[in-house]
């Protein structure tokens, strides 16, 4: 989940980019939102901030050399007793680097992948021709857009019927990634949904408590937005007890003053994704937190699901993210930038540029 390669190593000035009408509206919006949270004012002389955290990654030599015709790739994998995994990535992405150089370098994970999966890489900003399942032609870039790949890495696992058995949006640390691999390689998708599978292998015992924050609303939660009377967007934090990644979210990202300034402008709700606590969803349905998490397809704790003022889901963070990207996801929805820039990675680039123009250092791999 880095920035497009075109932004490395030198970021052009916002004033220069404003000459391009297609991006000017977004950049103005990003600049205004950034000033809201940083206290910057127009006319200040500033030294551009530094950009750090991007990491270049070499693809493993055991990835499949493919003509990028996915029906053929699936058939070839099936003939070898395997399945196909598409790996969506981009240059300079530290989360892709973590997947390749951390997860994939662990002996048990690499062995499980190489024995059970053919892996084909897709650059989300690439121009190679791709033929999707169904025979439709794309470029790598337009395929990523059609599939709404908002995060890198994104992984799509295909079963023998040429259907997506599982999709992972973003980086999963080794423990959670092993769970996903077992589900796919043991063909559990033919028996049960991934959410139900998680209940049997990953639901923690009911001990301990969730991390509290002053901006979380108090239960019981009536999130019904059908009246149209709400003036703030909604952020729902699905978490679980005994969750290392949830602890990191609270102790690092949510303790950051800049993050809190953004979150406090949402109606923010925290839910235990495995609890039977009753609530009313934004659509007005009564159900438990566990039932709603299953309906939404929550696969990872913590997941932040963001809704607009009318209760429609806009965006979610459903994998491991550090501070810059969590702030960007929240900012993307709060500012309304998603209405003008549907490509989240393009938005991140523009936001980074705007912050740097104001002398703010951007480290996309720091807590």
Task: Say if CB 320 and CB 365 are below 8 A apart.
Answer: no
Specify the pLDDT at position 39.
45
Task: Say if CB 311 and CB 282 are below 8 A apart.
Answer: yes
Q: What is the pLDDT of residues 320-348, one digit of tens each?
A: 999 999 999 999 999 999 999 999 999 99
Q: Sorting pLDDT into bands at 50, 70 and 90, what band is 21?
A: very low
Task: Say if CB 123 and CB 138 are below 8 A apart.
Answer: no
* Terminal alpha carbon distance of the chain: 14
Specify the pLDDT at position 29.
54
DSSP-assigned letters across all residues of 115-136: HHEEEEEEETT---EEE-TTS-
Average pLDDT over residues 254-265: 97
- 281 or 28, higher pLDDT: 281
Cα 56 to Cα 174: distance, rounded to the nearest angstrom: 20
Average pLDDT over residues 29-33: 50
How many C-beta atoms surround the C-beta of residue 128 within 10 A? Answer: 14
Q: What is the pLDDT of residues 181-219, one digit of tens each?
A: 999 999 999 999 999 999 888 777 667 899 999 999 999
Specify the pLDDT at position 227.
84
Q: Is the pLDDT of residue 290 over 80?
A: yes
Q: Is the pLDDT of residue 61 over 70?
A: yes
Specify the pLDDT at position 46.
80
How many C-beta atoms surround the C-beta of residue 177 within 10 A? Answer: 22
Q: Is the peptide bond before 153 cis (omega within 30 degrees of 0)?
A: yes
Average pLDDT over residues 80-101: 98
Q: Is the pLDDT of residue 4 over 50?
A: no
Q: What is the pLDDT of residues 142-193, one digit of tens each?
A: 999 999 999 999 999 999 999 999 999 999 999 999 999 999 999 999 999 9
DSSP-assigned letters across all residues of 228-254: ----S-EEEEEE-SS-HHHHHIIIIIT
Task: Report the range of poorest mean pLDDT among 6-15, 140-149, 197-206, 277-286.
Answer: 6-15
Domains (ranges, CATH) in the chain? Answer: 1-202+342-367 (3.40.30.10), 221-318 (3.40.30.10)
Q: Is the pLDDT of residue 50 over 50?
A: yes
Q: Record the tokens describing residue 144, joined without a space.
A: 């990523």
Specify the pLDDT at position 275.
94
3-state DSSP assignment of residue 304: strand
Question: In the chain, what percentage of residues exceed pLDDT 70?
Answer: 87
How many C-beta atoms surround the C-beta of residue 111 within 10 A? Answer: 10
Max mean pLDDT among 32-36, 223-227, 255-259 falls in 255-259
9, 24, 25 from 17: Cα distances, Å? 16, 7, 11
- Cut 0.85: pTM above it: yes
Q: Is the pLDDT of residue 25 over 80?
A: no
DSSP-assigned letters across all residues of 71-89: HHHHHHHHHTT-EEEEEEE
∠ CA 69-74-75, nearest 5°, is 100
Task: Say if CB 288 and CB 275 are below 8 A apart.
Answer: yes
Specify the pLDDT at position 23.
47
Specify the pLDDT at position 69.
98
Specify the pLDDT at position 43.
55
Task: Report the range of poorest mean pLDDT among 42-51, 95-104, 232-241.
Answer: 42-51
Average pLDDT over residues 56-78: 97
Average pLDDT, the chain: 89
Specify the pLDDT at position 208.
81
228, 279, 348 from 344: Cα distances, Å? 26, 30, 6
Task: Report the range of poorest mean pLDDT among 29-43, 191-205, 220-234, 316-330.
Answer: 29-43
- 29 or 247, higher pLDDT: 247
Question: In the chain, what percentage of residues exceed pLDDT 90?
Answer: 83
Cα 347 to Cα 7: distance, rounded to the nearest angstrom: 12
Task: Say if CB 352 and CB 3 are below 8 A apart.
Answer: yes
Q: How far is CA 132 from the centre of its chain?
A: 23
């Amino acid at each position: 989940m880095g920035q497009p390669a075109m932004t490395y190593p030198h970021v052009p000035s916002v004033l220069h980019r404003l000459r391009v009408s297609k991006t000017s509206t977004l950049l103005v919006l990003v600049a205004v939102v950034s000033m809201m949270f940083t206290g910057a004012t127009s006319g200040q002389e500033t030294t551009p901030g530094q950009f750090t955290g991007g990491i270049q990654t070499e693809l493993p030599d055991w990835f499949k050399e493919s003509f990028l015709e996915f029906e053929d790739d699936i058939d070839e994998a099936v003939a070898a007793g395997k399945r196909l995994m598409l790996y969506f990535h981009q240059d300079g992405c530290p989360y892709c680097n973590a997947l390749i150089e951390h997860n994939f370098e662990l002996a048990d994970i690499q062995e499980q992948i190489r024995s059970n999966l053919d892996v084909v890489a897709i650059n989300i900003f690439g121009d190679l021709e791709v033929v999707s399942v169904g025979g439709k032609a794309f470029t790598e870039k337009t395929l990523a857009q059609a599939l709404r790949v908002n995060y890198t890495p994104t992984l799509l696992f295909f079963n023998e019927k040429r259907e997506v058995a599982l999709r992972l949006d973003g980086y999963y640390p080794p423990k959670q990634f092993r769970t996903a691999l077992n589900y796919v390689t043991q063909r559990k998708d033919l028996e049960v949904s991934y959410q139900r599978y998680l209940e049997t292998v990953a639901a923690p015992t009911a001990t301990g408590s969730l991390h509290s924050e002053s901006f979380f609303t108090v239960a019981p939660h009536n999130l019904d937005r059908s009246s149209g009377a709400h003036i703030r967007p909604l952020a729902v934090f699905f978490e679980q007890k005994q969750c290392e990644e949830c602890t990191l979210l609270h102790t690092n990202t949510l303790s950051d003053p800049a993050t809190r300034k953004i979150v406090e402008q949402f109606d923010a709700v925290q839910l235990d994704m495995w609890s039977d606590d009753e609530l009313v969803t934004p659509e007005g349905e009564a159900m438990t937190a566990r039932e709603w998490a299953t309906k939404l397809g929550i696969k990872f704790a913590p997941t932040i699901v963001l809704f607009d003022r009318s209760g429609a889901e806009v965006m979610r963070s459903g994998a491991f993210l550090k501070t810059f990207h969590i702030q960007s996801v929240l900012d993307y929805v709060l500012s309304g930038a998603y209405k003008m820039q549907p490509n989240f990675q393009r938005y991140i680039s523009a936001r980074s540029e705007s912050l740097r123009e104001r002398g703010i250092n951007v480290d996309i791999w720091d807590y």
